[in-house]
Structure 1
Amino acid sequence: MGEILKELPAVILRGSVLLPGVVSHFDISARKSIHAVEEAMNGDNCIFLVTQKDMQTEHATQDDVYAIGVIAEIKQIVKMQNHVVRVIVEAKEKAELAYFIDNDELLKAQVVLAEESEEKEVLAPEVEEAMLRALQEELLKYCASNPKIGKELKKQADGLNELHSFIRIVAGNLPISFEKRQKLLETESVTEQYEALMQILLYETNIMQIKNELQEKVKERVDKNQKEYILREEMKVIREELGEDNTTSDIKQFEEALEKLEADESVKERIRKEIARFKNVANSPSEGSVVRGYIETLLDLPWNKKSEDNTDLKNAEQILNDDHYGLEKVKERVLEFLAVRGLTKSGESPIICLVGPPGTGKTSIARSVARALDKKYVRICLGGVKDEAEIRGHRRTYVGAMPGRLIQGIRQAGVKNPLMLLDEIDKMSSDYKGDPSSAMLEVLDSEQNSKFIDHYVDMPVDLSEVLFIATANDVHTIPRPLLDRMELIEVSSYTENEKMHIAKEHLLEKQKEKNGLSTEQLTITDEAMHQVISGYTREAGVRNLERKLGEICRKAAREIYEGNCTAVHVEKDQLENYLGKERFHVDRINDQDEIGIVRGLAWTSVGGDTLQIEVNVMPGKGEFKLTGQLGDVMKESAQAGISYIRSVGEQYDIPEEFFTKHDIHIHIPEGAVPKDGPSAGITMATAMLSAITKKPVRADVAMTGEITLRGRVLPIGGLKEKLLAAKVAGIRTVCVPAQNEADVAEISEEIKEGLQICYVKKMEDVLKIAMNGENNDH
């Protein structure tokens, strides 16, 4: 280039290169760039544009920009949002940067212009025509491979019969990187420009052809209705082109895992067949994923792998006693199982069902048993399960199929003999998808579960060595055949003394640790603990008791953290500050004997309770009223009671016309609480007879039992809870059906102490005790 110098305002561009003869635009927001444009507009509208080499560079200097740029004429300026200015320019000629003249206001450049004689290169007409035709042919190929851009580009190139103009227009509109466009700008001759443009066209055409070929391969493999798999298939085709295929490595891993698997030869043979099948269907996304999941499940199952049980009776007894207070039946059964296992070296695993109210520790017992035996522990919650496939597994007919919960539990445990807790087995239901409780019959039958078939696994799985422990709140909702499979152990309500031991030995320490308190930082007196149990909780278990102790711990933690004290000592008279007013008051016995009021005993889901049944007799038309939200069974018991009284009215000097001239009203508080069951039969009959004959009933007597029309007393359930409620209420004498004598024998002496239990066979026995002060032997 010659030495024609010119000083012009300059703008440094990022990621954009302009070629001479092309109209384009760029956006600027920097203060210096805007001042440079304004300076050019005030002069001859010419500005020097040069591109920086790295788009990320801030405050570019002369070393950071290319040596060659263009002198452009500003055509229009448009102000955009956010102080951005769009400048429309036409590039006139290229120029070489000599140096920048920088000041605070704007950037200027001293540039070197090419002399007129150096600008043009003379080519033979046939050479120029050959170059032009070659470029036109290559451009047509490019446009064919990329029709989206090619249509507009072809329109602009049509009619250009001059090589220099063709190169300038095509190069200026091709979607190429600014580095390639800069290379075109820096070329000195038409020949070099032709070679550079041809190279770019060839490269871009080749890239587009490869891309189109890949897309064609994908389209051949993918069904028209499976558009969601297009991206996955594109990746697969690209991996195949690059020689990367994961299927081979997966098969190798499966075969290595099979060699290490502890299983019978029949199981291994089945897995080998599935691996061979996987080789054939691996390229099918849907079927391949199903087979892969099935193989992984079979390899993960512990077919012959089991853990060694700890058969040390003393160790097991120590762990069970440390974790739980009371619960003698459960502990005894577990120790019997260990003794049998120690003698026989195998022994059938029992199927135990722990039945009791919420919060009595049924789930935690299972954890303790697992710890005592050194068994893996798996909990399966069956509450709300109503699909048979949850137990037996789904058939492998669709992608989302999976094994049943039992097989998943075995897989999770990693051994074939874990302790499996079937929680809330009484809460299973059924719908159109099947009955899961029927599916459980095979699982819980020790004669059948050695070859349990899961629909997904489709091979016999041995469940005979699994120690099943089920929990339930109410056995009446469990189907009879399923109940017959299990050994029932009742986990009944805790006495106040048992709750006291549990709170002091387990719950309080657990809550202290949970709330960051040491043993010395919080102490609760025995009187205060008794008051928490009786005045702030009313339940069969200890869940609410634990919550109340947690509440005390949190308030104590706050006092200590705020620096009010270093330790907290809670006494009975301070409980109101921590727990508020007492919520429950024991319904104590009446001070004197009354007419028409009898104390009954009831079982509830949270333990036992006493019911004070009241009867009024009024002049009327022989109506019989029952209030207090009584269920159908309880109403029928009242009807049976009045029928019995009418049949024996002569013995008690009741006039025949009495029942047609008087109304009888039975009420059982609390009126808002639903009540049902037959066990209040003798209680209501006694209260009615007392009101009719005007004879008072002893206030210290409570009773429970079902009545017949002939006055016989039939047995009832929930006796432990009922006796416990009677003792708390201060009752001294309890009438119990004679057929329940065996149940009373199993109740601990702690509950029976201080109670005179009278066994009654008919209503005459009850009336002698309740109304005449007589009793029978107990």
Structure 2
Amino acid sequence: MKKLLEKLHLIPNSTLHQKLENEEAYRRQVTALFGILSNLYGADKLVLRAGKLEALHLMRSSDLGERVLGLQRIVFENPNLSDIPRKDQIPVVLQEIEDALADMLARRSVEQEIEAKVSDKMQERHEEYLQEIRTQLIKEKSGPENAQTLKKYAKLEKLEHIHLSRSTLELIRPKALSEIVGQEKGIRSLISKLASPFPQHVIIYGPPGVGKTTAARIVLQEAARLANTPFASDAPFVEVDGTTLRWDPRDITNPLLGSVHDPIYQGARRDLADTAIPEPKLGLVTEAHGGVLFIDEIGELDPILQNKLLKVLEDKRVQFDSPYYDPDDKNVPKYIKKLFEEGAPADFILIGATTRDPSEINPALRSRCTEVFFEPLVPNQVEEIIRGAGERLGVSVEAGVPELIARYTIEGRKAVNVLVDAYGLMKYRESKTGEETDLICLQDVEDVLQMSRLHPYIREKKQARWEVGRVNGLGVAGFLGSVIEIEAVAFPAPERGKGRLRFNDTAGSMAKDSVFNAAAVFRRVTGQDLSDFDVHINAVGGGRIDGPSAGVAIFLAAFSAVTGKPIPQTLAVTGEISIQGRVKPVGGIVEKIFGARQAGMTHVLVPEENASDVPNDTIGIQVTTVSTIEEVLAIAFQQEPLKVC
């Protein structure tokens, strides 16, 4: 009976009491676990979660096993759990639930910690973003300027108002074609090339300082006024010096044709560099589109750059290329895509100027250009330039000043520079004396010439006298002709046939060949052997004679020295001599006649085959063509032609 009551819990004993206490502890433990879940998910979310997992009725049950099963379904998120744990299984199940909850709480703690850090970072980024927006708004409102940039800008503006000699030279520079002195033919030729519905590329040849650049600029202005030319009234005139242009094999810097600033190099805009988009930079050929690109000293332009320029002249466009350019990149701006795919327009007229001989210019470039020649200035033209410059300066020049300056230079630019320097001395003298005369004196010019260490261009004007063994030959360097004095002395040899023939070693091998040719012609003409004499022939000044054009002059000097016949010193000769006594053609006839006129010659002998090279305006000098040495002797010694022995 007692055992039955114990089973029915009708009488207490120690074992039963212990079981009851354990069950109560489990109930409190289950209640505590539900509280943890409520705190973890929230009361409302816990009810919703229990409903989805079909554990709501179990959670509200008074039976301990059902409540434990409800905990299992909620914690393990498994609505398929249906086995209610037995009383002896409850401790194990509760331990599993506690372990799972511990993992959940630990994970939630870590997640909360990470979320807190993320929130802090987001707040930090948010504040930085707000600060960046504020800064951008301030920049948009105030612009890119600050105190430092405005100070530098003000300094540049101040510098712009300071002008020194540049303004004086601009004042003196011709403003109209009529003010350019001594180049009437060249200017007419240049106008004919540009004042046409189909203007042509041009190369202007001529010595320095004769107005090539000024003429090109003014001719474009004149052509733009004509209705039948393609030039607009505001057609650009882009001027550049060929000596300053160099080809960059990396194509990073090319001011003439343009270049591509790749993102890895400096130069691309920041937004383009950040997105790895190359940015083409347009060159001078595009800047001159629709106008004239003037390249001074085009003969000094880099050969590779010349070849690239020829391609632009043919295509009238500049092409750009870069390994960084992606045609499929949607971030590429339209203008960059257009430049890479179509190129930049470069339809312009090229005018090149050079002091070189045409033979030294790239043949491919010459074939695409017409050629215009500007002449060296003669003294009276330099004098006219000086007088015109004085008028534009608003000063008077003392009598003799233009003539004095013209003696020292044949370049208009240099002559004007001398006048400007003398103008400065005049102003300094006026500041010392307090007297304003606005008169440039001879003394001012002489001081400038002395300080500049200039020498007269023509040291000696030839006089109407006759000399034995002295002949005026003619040479040319660039576009300037000059007189080469060739002299000879002859003495009978100590022994017949053993005379010596000497000539300057510095004159060159071709000049020596001319001496030997002269010896053969001397024997042919006179019947005498030049080896019967000791003959010394000298080119005064020790200059190098490049070419055979001094052959006639060398023969005349030797002939005069041996025969003792004098030669007029106002006569100049040029021409190659053959061993048969023929006078062969030479180059540089125009320049040589100019040099002879400058030196005061009155008569020039040139080869007959060069007759077409003789200019029409040979005012002040007589030009005679000869074909044989006999004709030369007849004119030089004013006698009948000699008979050949």
* TM-score normalised by length of structure 1: 0.50
Q: 2:632: which partner in 1?
A: 766
Structure 2 residue 540 is matched with structure 1 residue 684:
no
Q: 2:292: which partner in 1?
A: 419
Shift of 1:573: 7.4
Shift of 1:648: 5.1
Report if the CA contact (8 A) 1:395-1:455 is conserved.
yes
Give, in whole Å, the separation in 2 of the partners of 1:759 and 1:239.
91
Give, in whole Å, the separation in 1 of the partners of 2:623 and 2:468.
23
Structure 2 residue 353 is matched with structure 1 residue 471:
yes
Shift of 1:385: 4.0
Q: 1:54: which partner in 2?
A: none
Shift of 1:404: 13
Q: Is the alpha carbon distance of 1:332 and 1:590 closer, same or farther for their aligned partners in structure 2, counting shifts above 3 Å? A: closer
Q: 2:315: which partner in 1?
A: 449
Please list the CA deviations of residues 449-495 of structure 1 after superposition, one character each: whole Å capped at 9, or x if unmatched. 33443447444557674121111111232122222111110112011
Q: Is the alpha carbon distance of 1:386 and 1:579 closer, same or farther for their aligned partners in structure 2, counting shifts above 3 Å? A: closer
Report if the CA contact (8 A) 2:514-2:554 is conserved.
no
Report if the CA contact (8 A) 1:428-1:437 is conserved.
yes
Q: 2:606: which partner in 1?
A: 736
Structure 2 residue 333 is matched with structure 1 residue 483:
no
Q: 1:640: which partner in 2?
A: 514
Shift of 1:556: 1.0
Q: 2:527: which partner in 1?
A: 653
Paired AA for residue 408 in structure 1 = G
Q: Is the alpha carbon distance of 1:549 and 1:733 closer, same or farther for their aligned partners in structure 2, counting shifts above 3 Å? A: same
Report if the CA contact (8 A) 1:320-1:331 is conserved.
no
Paired AA for residue 366 in structure 1 = A
Shift of 1:381: 2.1
Paired AA for residue 527 in structure 2 = D
Q: Is the alpha carbon distance of 1:674 and 1:454 closer, same or farther for their aligned partners in structure 2, counting shifts above 3 Å? A: farther
Paired AA for residue 350 in structure 2 = F
Give, in whole Å, the separation in 2 of the partners of 1:680 and 1:421.
38
Stretch of structure 1 that moved more, 542-551 or 589-598: 589-598
Q: Is the alpha carbon distance of 1:243 and 1:557 closer, same or farther for their aligned partners in structure 2, counting shifts above 3 Å? A: closer
SS of structure 2 residue aligned to 1:350: coil
Report if the CA contact (8 A) 2:260-2:321 is conserved.
yes
Q: 2:477: which partner in 1?
A: 604
Structure 2 residue 185 is matched with structure 1 residue 329:
yes
Shift of 1:212: 13
Shift of 1:237: 12
Q: Is the alpha carbon distance of 1:555 and 1:715 closer, same or farther for their aligned partners in structure 2, counting shifts above 3 Å? A: same
Q: Is the alpha carbon distance of 1:326 and 1:640 closer, same or farther for their aligned partners in structure 2, counting shifts above 3 Å? A: closer
Report if the CA contact (8 A) 2:203-2:353 is conserved.
yes
Q: Is the alpha carbon distance of 1:338 and 1:649 closer, same or farther for their aligned partners in structure 2, counting shifts above 3 Å? A: closer
Shift of 1:575: 4.9
Summarize the alignment of residues 463-612 of structure 1 with structure 2, pairs less than 5 Å apart: 465-474=347-356, 475-505=358-388, 507-509=389-391, 512=393, 519=394, 522-534=395-407, 537-539=408-410, 541-570=411-440, 575-576=445-446, 579-580=449-450, 583-584=455-456, 586-590=459-463, 592-605=465-478, 607-612=480-485
Paired AA for residue 603 in structure 1 = V
Paired AA for residue 625 in structure 1 = R
Give, in whole Å, the separation in 1 of the partners of 2:175 and 2:585.
38
Match for residue 623 of structure 2 among 739, 754, 757? 757
SS of structure 2 residue aligned to 1:594: strand
SS of structure 2 residue aligned to 1:503: helix
Q: Is the alpha carbon distance of 1:244 and 1:325 closer, same or farther for their aligned partners in structure 2, counting shifts above 3 Å? A: same
Report if the CA contact (8 A) 2:575-2:585 is conserved.
yes
Summarize the alignment of residues 314-325 of structure 1 with structure 2, pairs less than 5 Å apart: 320-325=176-181
Shift of 1:604: 3.0
Please list the CA deviations of residues 245-297 of structure 1 after superposition, one character each: whole Å capped at 9, or x if unmatched. 98xx99xxxxxxxxxxxxxxxxxxxxxxxxxxxxxxxxxxxxxxxxxxxxxxx
Paired AA for residue 238 in structure 2 = V
Give, in whole Å, the separation in 2 of the partners of 1:573 and 1:724.
30
Give, in whole Å, the separation in 1 of the partners of 2:525 and 2:449.
55
Give, in whole Å, the separation in 1 of the partners of 2:261 and 2:454.
58
Give, in whole Å, the separation in 2 of the partners of 1:623 and 1:686.
18
Q: 2:572: which partner in 1?
A: 702
Which structure has the larger Rg? 2
Q: 2:241: which partner in 1?
A: 381
Match for residue 284 of structure 2 among 409, 414, 423? 409
Give, in whole Å, the separation in 2 of the partners of 1:531 and 1:715.
37
Q: 2:307: which partner in 1?
A: 438
Please list the CA deviations of residues 294-325 of structure 1 after superposition, one character each: whole Å capped at 9, or x if unmatched. xxxxxxxxxxxxxxxxxxxxxxxx96424412
Q: 2:593: which partner in 1?
A: 723
SS of structure 1 residue aligned to 2:614: helix
Report if the CA contact (8 A) 1:598-1:612 is conserved.
yes
Paired AA for residue 548 in structure 1 = V
Please list the CA deviations of residues 570-624 of structure 1 after superposition, one character each: whole Å capped at 9, or x if unmatched. 5657754564498325322255322221011222347332121112235475544
Q: Is the alpha carbon distance of 1:339 and 1:622 closer, same or farther for their aligned partners in structure 2, counting shifts above 3 Å? A: same
Q: Greater relative contact order (Cα 8 A, min sep 6): structure 1 or 2?
A: 2
Give, in whole Å, the separation in 2 of the partners of 1:695 and 1:629.
28
Give, in whole Å, the separation in 2 of the partners of 1:611 and 1:417.
48
Summarize the alignment of residues 19-418 of structure 1 with structure 2, pairs less than 5 Å apart: 238=128, 242=132, 320-337=176-193, 339-341=195-197, 347=198, 349-372=199-222, 373=224, 374=233, 375-383=235-243, 385-387=245-247, 389=251, 390=254, 393-394=258-259, 399=265, 407-412=282-287, 416-418=289-291
Report if the CA contact (8 A) 1:323-1:368 is conserved.
no
Q: Is the alpha carbon distance of 1:401 and 1:242 closer, same or farther for their aligned partners in structure 2, counting shifts above 3 Å? A: closer
Shift of 1:769: 1.4
Give, in whole Å, the separation in 2 of the partners of 1:666 and 1:401.
65
Shift of 1:700: 2.0
Report if the CA contact (8 A) 2:471-2:553 is conserved.
yes
Q: Is the alpha carbon distance of 1:711 and 1:653 closer, same or farther for their aligned partners in structure 2, counting shifts above 3 Å? A: closer
Unpaired runs of 5+ residues, structure 2, are 1-115, 141-173, 225-232, 269-277, 323-338
Q: Is the alpha carbon distance of 1:678 and 1:438 closer, same or farther for their aligned partners in structure 2, counting shifts above 3 Å? A: farther
Shift of 1:427: 0.6
Shift of 1:726: 1.9
Unpaired runs of 5+ residues, structure 1, are 1-204, 215-235, 251-317, 342-346, 513-518
Paired AA for residue 353 in structure 2 = T
Please list the CA deviations of residues 118-141 of structure 1 after superposition, one character each: whole Å capped at 9, or x if unmatched. xxxxxxxxxxxxxxxxxxxxxxxx
Paired AA for residue 441 in structure 1 = L
Shift of 1:774: 6.3
SS of structure 1 residue aligned to 2:553: helix
Give, in whole Å, the separation in 2 of the partners of 1:455 and 1:325.
47
Give, in whole Å, the separation in 1 of the partners of 2:355 and 2:188.
21
Match for residue 541 of structure 2 among 670, 674, 684? 670
Q: Is the alpha carbon distance of 1:709 and 1:744 closer, same or farther for their aligned partners in structure 2, counting shifts above 3 Å? A: same
Q: Is the alpha carbon distance of 1:455 and 1:738 closer, same or farther for their aligned partners in structure 2, counting shifts above 3 Å? A: farther
Give, in whole Å, the separation in 2 of the partners of 1:212 and 1:662.
111
Q: Which runs of 4+ in 1 moved over 6 A?
A: 211-214, 401-406
RMSD between superposed Cα atoms in Å: 4.0
Give, in whole Å, the separation in 1 of the partners of 2:177 and 2:294.
20
Give, in whole Å, the separation in 2 of the partners of 1:423 and 1:406.
23
